[in-house]
Structure 1
Amino acid sequence: MLREYTTPITSNFSIDGTVYSILSERVARTPDSSLVEYKDDSGQWQSFSGRKFLSLVHQLAKGLLAKGVQKGDSIAIMAHTSWQWTALDIAIMSIGALTVPIYETNSAQQIAMIVNDANVSRVFVENDALREKVEQIKDQAPQLQEIFELDSGAIELLQAYAHSTTDEELQAAIDRVYGSDLATIVYTSGSTGTPKGVELTHQNFVYIARSGAASMPDIALGEGRRLLLFLPLAHVFARYMQFFCFAGDVTLGLSSNLKTIIKDFQSFKPTFVLAVPRIFEKVYNAASQKAGKGLRGLIFNRAAQVARTWSHGQQEGHIPALISLQHAIYSKLVYNAILDVFGGKVEYAVSGGAPLDQSIAHFFNGVGLPLLEGYGMTEVCAPACVNPTSGYKIGTIGIPLQGVSFAVAEDGELCIKSLAVCKGYHHHPELTAQQITDGWLHTGDLGSIDDEGFISITGRKKDLIITAGGKNVSPDGLQTVVMTSPVVSQCVVIGDRRRFVSALITIDLEDANAWLESNGAQTVQTLEQACTNPIIRAEVERVVDLANATVSRAESIRKYEILDTEFTEANGLLTPSLKAKRQVIEQRFADIINNKIYGVNQPKA
């Protein structure tokens, strides 16, 4: 390794126990405080105390034992984020069975692959539509015994069966589970190929949950800590955040409806927000569009400029006196209203899952909401590093969590070592040996580490574009800037083995219309109209020029096409974590790439 950095363990946290023990120890500390909150059918927030939620987990675990579930059995959950998901997850793992998450958007073919690869014997689905998906593949999975439907009383069914299992039998099952046992098999979302099952142990989660809480005490510890979790629990990061909350003092709110997320923020009043960059971009764009033109628009634009200037000054250690005065004025006039979008109590936000544009980070930092960018992978239970609440550096992904080591290999690849590194890839020993050597997980990302341990991502080995002229281009930075536009939904930069760099761009119809309206322009009805609209095209041209200004001419986007379609999970062009499937997209739009952009019939890149 060329460079290595480890954040020492300075807090006295235990690495022993299981995922169940994270919950049981929290309940022992604060049995009657609110642990899990959710909205009922009327839209009102309801609460489980720690004691009540642990009792629910016990009932579900007893019911599973009564249904014949044994240690080592694989049980899948296919549902939106909910308290049922969380309770089932811990109940399954508490008795040594393995939780296998399946995205509700997965196709029947993907479901069959996961169910068979993980030898799943039982599946919990949310509703009839998902049950039908699983029923379609039942003849391909002879080991699949039962399908339970949450909307048809699966929770109540397990609670009824619970009476057949004694407390002593449950405790004996819990006692047979060790930290070294597998807790879950999580299938990667597959942006670059067929999903692989990542084997994660109880110790993996226990270690990084307790390390995370110790590393971020301002977020995890103390009275009144609240998180509203709306990411899909099939994603390892969302599942980790459950355990992070339980390891600390955080009340966990659960929601799955992104259409009501702003209202949910305002009613739940989180103290910190966890989201992908796109959420923060949308909040910024919405605030800008709401200000509109005229005096209000001028005030907002000036306030945004002052916020960014203040943030740059804060990061550099010197804020000019005039900027400080203007910042104080705009805090009352503009910034407080923006923070009220998140409920008015938010102190920090954590951003991950994709590169964060620095202009967005500086804006939110300037209005009083530091965006603490972090980084992780399924193979390390999600997080491995994050910016601290004090002394954070915008433009980096922070420092390693306590007890986690990062290193830069000779080829520039970032590597991670800690007790959170997965056991391996299910049924793929050759891939395990390739990706994990001497305890170091090879991430596939290129990066650097400064003298204080702050890590920066510079690109991705497999996504690195090498043009026909031999120029190495990392697409992430260009894509991130283009996607800050209020009209752009997705941007995929291409050009590997091509004469120049180009891009495929899609439009967010709803946001584009809001932007057109705020600019006094006529809205459009379809994506076909949007991609030919001269005002929208001018905005796309502006943001592409902005992206190109950050790189050399050889790395710049020379041509682009605005597509009259979307990249979605449903059409197979986005992963469930909203990452573009580059290879699939290049294959799907090969004609446009080869003929309209490059003008020749070239081999597929």
Structure 2
Amino acid sequence: MREFTAPALARVDRNANLTDFIVNNAAHDPHHVSFRRRIGSQWHDVTAGQFLYEVTEIAQGFIAAGINPGDRVAILSRTRYEWTLVDFAIWSAGAVTVPIYETSSAEQVQWILSDSRAVACIAETPELSSVVADLKPDLPQLHAVWQIEDAPPPGDVGSFTSLRRNGVGIPEAVVEARRSTVNAESIATLIYTSGTTGRPKGCALTHQNFLAEVMNVTAQLGEIFERPNCSTLLFLPLAHVFARVIQLASVYQGVTLGHSSDVKNLLDDFAAFRPTFLLAVPRVFEKVYNSATQKAEAAGKGKIFARAVTIAIAYSEAIETGTLTPKLRMQRSFYSALVYRKLRKSLGGRATHAISGGSALGSRLGHFYRGIGLTVLEGYGLTETTAAITVNPSRGAKIGTVGQPVPGTTIRIADDGEVLAKGPIVFGGYWRNEAATDDAIDPQGWFHTGDIGALDEDGFLSITGRKKEIIVTAGGKNVAPAVIEDRIRAHALVSQVMVVGDNEPFIGALITVDEEALEPWKATQGKTGSVTDLLTDPDLLAAIDEAVQYGNKAVSKAESVRKYHIIARDWTVEQGQLTPSMKLKRNVVMKEHEADINAIYGR
């Protein structure tokens, strides 16, 4: 199939804007618990009425500080309650939010503040405030910086308390008037695409883009968002469009929302918060699975766990094919009591669904999680499409695909296999960059995603590779690296994989080791030492060989990895090899590991 359109389930009023969500919530049920805010180790309820009051208070502070309609205000912070609070306050003051990842370098922060022409910035910590304060002399339009944390701010940076206090003299009617200046066509945010090459581009998303996305996706996934006492814990960076849409969808549907930035203790937060649905990138689901596998093996229950995995996958596959038997139901029930219940409890015990995006989860893990009682719905999208352009339905999901078009969206497959999109969720262009806009949107209005994919007869999309990442070997074979990379990365000991082989005689790979997973593996194997010490260890090599061979099963011989090189140091966002959304910066890795790639090919 070359094209598929999903009819819209909701239409956007041209006079609407995103602040309508919180105003309507407070008017409809001011005592509803809209948020659970963590202060220290305790979670505190925030009602819809209280949230609107706090948003208005911050908006008054912005107006008192001279922020005008259409002005850009940056947020430089990890995911936390105040991020959401400030986001709505910026819109309530008639302004535009510019998110910046807290992991960004000073140079990246300067570029975004300069290119967006931000007039103010909210920074989370004294360290981040100092970064902005140091840049301020070179940013003439940036006239105000405030700090979220209570610690003394540096230089002329103001406190969050002072921002609230300064707006006392501004009547609430002024905020309402400002809020009313914003309509669906107004720009809501400039999200600078992290990108894998070059300077980030400011993606201008309107209130209509977000409204169309949120209203249609939540209608499409009503079983998840309309469940009684529905809640979710947001831990992905709110600077990324995926988390931002879930934030808005939760507020729109009255889902109780919590925030966490402590990824290392995420399971503890799940246990305390007990969300009814989750959202994450595939790496999170891989780590939960790998950790459970290692714990079972360390406890001498590896065979039981492996059997439980087999039954869970078989159960999910039988659901999809309509071949579920009484015997399989009974086996699944047995392992649910023995294994699956504990896994679900580690995620809080109440979650029935999860939404995954950013990269491919893989069919095996998709079937495993559905088999244990947590249906992971894969979706697909970009910043330019306001997050998802496709998502799997809560009922009738096709594991291994990224779902059907979001209602109101059309997907087309071009002659070269590229995925094209059109609809109200597709952005209108990049901020102050007409050339980049013309490259992304053709004269007929189709947005070119840069990804290669296929549509089945029911409109389910499968992504098979990235157009710009297609590797062409010396023998002329076209290879999409994502397929085999996802399979290899599924192994517990593997952290990251990058397939190489452009203009080379065969396909090779660079592989990094997951240091968290390495520790329990060393304990079971009686090993000591770091990754560097174990690079030639026969047992580690055998484990990585196993991962590579599993990956090779998914592709033809010409596409399979013949040789690989284990890298002693993992790739991270902080060191610059990964984008904040955990995508590989292939050009960076290629440059840093030129010698390792040469070694693969005997040079």
5 Å-filtered alignment, 1:517-556, equals 517=523, 520-556=524-560
Instruction: Kindly state the Cα deviation for residue 384 of structure 1 after the two structures are TM-superposed.
Output: 1.5
8 A Cα contact 1:575 1:581, kept in partner: yes
Aligned to 2:404: 399
In the superposition, relative to structure 1, how do residues 444 and 209 fare at CA in structure 2: closer, same or farther (>3 Å)? same
Aligned to 1:47: 45
Instruction: Kindly state the Cα deviation for residue 421 of structure 1 after the two structures are TM-superposed.
Output: 1.0
8 A Cα contact 2:312 2:367, kept in partner: yes
Match of 1:75 among 73, 76, 92: 73
Instruction: Kindly state the Cα deviation for residue 167 of structure 1 after the two structures are TM-superposed.
Output: 1.7
Instruction: Kindly state the Cα deviation for residue 98 of structure 1 after the two structures are TM-superposed.
Output: 1.1
8 A Cα contact 1:125 1:148, kept in partner: yes
Letter in 1 for 2:165: A
Match of 1:213 among 199, 218, 230: 218
8 A Cα contact 1:15 1:206, kept in partner: no
Aligned to 1:473: 479
8 A Cα contact 2:59 2:93, kept in partner: yes
In the superposition, relative to structure 1, how do residues 131 and 295 fare at CA in structure 2: closer, same or farther (>3 Å)? closer
When the two chains are superposed, the root-mean-square deviation of aligned CA atoms in Å is 1.5
Letter in 1 for 2:450: G
Matched, 1:514 2:506: no
Aligned to 1:456: 462
Aligned to 1:227: 232
8 A Cα contact 1:38 1:83, kept in partner: yes
Instruction: Kindly state the Cα deviation for residue 195 of structure 1 after the two structures are TM-superposed.
Output: 1.2
CA distance in 2, matches of 1:426, 1:12: 26
CA distance in 1, matches of 2:227, 2:300: 42
8 A Cα contact 2:10 2:212, kept in partner: no
Aligned to 1:590: 594
Aligned residues: 595
Aligned to 1:494: 500
CA distance in 2, matches of 1:127, 1:386: 36
Higher alpha-carbon deviation: 119-128 or 527-536: 527-536
8 A Cα contact 1:108 1:136, kept in partner: no
Aligned to 1:5: 4
Aligned to 1:98: 96
1:213-259 Cα distance to aligned partner (Å, 9 max, x none): 11110111142111110001111111111111112131111111001
State percent identity of aligned pairs: 39
1:428-466 Cα distance to aligned partner (Å, 9 max, x none): 111112211223211011111111111111111001111
8 A Cα contact 2:92 2:176, kept in partner: no
8 A Cα contact 1:16 1:206, kept in partner: no
Instruction: Kindly state the Cα deviation for residue 532 of structure 1 after the two structures are TM-superposed.
Output: 3.0
CA distance in 2, matches of 1:12, 1:204: 11
In the superposition, relative to structure 1, how do residues 532 and 131 fare at CA in structure 2: closer, same or farther (>3 Å)? farther
Letter in 2 for 1:592: D
Matched, 1:562 2:561: no
Which stretches in structure 2 are left out of the alignment for 5+ residues? 151-157
In the superposition, relative to structure 1, how do residues 110 and 13 fare at CA in structure 2: closer, same or farther (>3 Å)? closer
Letter in 1 for 2:334: I
Aligned to 2:368: 363
Match of 1:599 among 578, 583, 602: 602
1:517-566 Cα distance to aligned partner (Å, 9 max, x none): 3xx21243422124333222211110101101111111011111001111
8 A Cα contact 1:507 1:531, kept in partner: no
8 A Cα contact 1:35 1:252, kept in partner: yes
8 A Cα contact 2:356 2:376, kept in partner: yes
CA distance in 2, matches of 1:49, 1:514: 43
| TM-score, normalised with respect to structure 1 | 0.96
Aligned to 1:329: 334
In the superposition, relative to structure 1, how do residues 45 and 525 fare at CA in structure 2: closer, same or farther (>3 Å)? farther
Letter in 1 for 2:565: E
Aligned to 1:574: 578
Instruction: Kindly state the Cα deviation for residue 14 of structure 1 after the two structures are TM-superposed.
Output: 5.2
Aligned to 1:243: 248
1:102-148 Cα distance to aligned partner (Å, 9 max, x none): 11111111111111110111111111111222233223222221221
5 Å-filtered alignment, 1:203-352, equals 203-292=208-297, 296-352=301-357
Structure 1 segments of 4+ aligned residues over 6 angstroms from their partners: none
Match of 2:59 among 58, 61, 67: 61
8 A Cα contact 2:10 2:215, kept in partner: no
1:330-349 Cα distance to aligned partner (Å, 9 max, x none): 11111111111111101101
In the superposition, relative to structure 1, how do residues 534 and 275 fare at CA in structure 2: closer, same or farther (>3 Å)? same
CA distance in 2, matches of 1:27, 1:395: 40
